[in-house]
Structure 1
Amino acid sequence: MILYTALPLELVLDGIDRKYDFREIEIDNIKILVEPVDVDKGKIISVISSNPTVYLNPKLYPGNIIKFIPSQRL
Structure 2
Amino acid sequence: MIIYSAMPLELILEGSSDFSPEYLELEAGGLKLLVEKYDNQQGKVVRLISSNPHDYLNPLLQPGEIIKL
What is the alpha-carbon distance in structure 1 between the residues aligned to residue 21 and residue 43 of structure 2? 13
Counterpart check, 1:39 vs 2:37: no
Unaligned runs of 5+ in 2: none
What TM-score, normalized by structure 1, do the two folds share?
0.73
Q: Is the 8 A contact 2:21 2:37 kept in 1?
A: no
Instruction: Name the Cα RMSD after superposition.
Output: 1.7
How far the C-alpha of 1:21 sits from its partner, in A, is: 0.5
The count of aligned residue pairs is 65
Matching residue of 2:30:
29
What TM-score, normalized by structure 2, do the two folds share?
0.77
Matching residue of 1:71:
none
Residues 4 and 25 (structure 1), Cα distance of their counterparts in 2 relative to 1, 3 Å cut:
same
Unaligned runs of 5+ in 1: 69-74
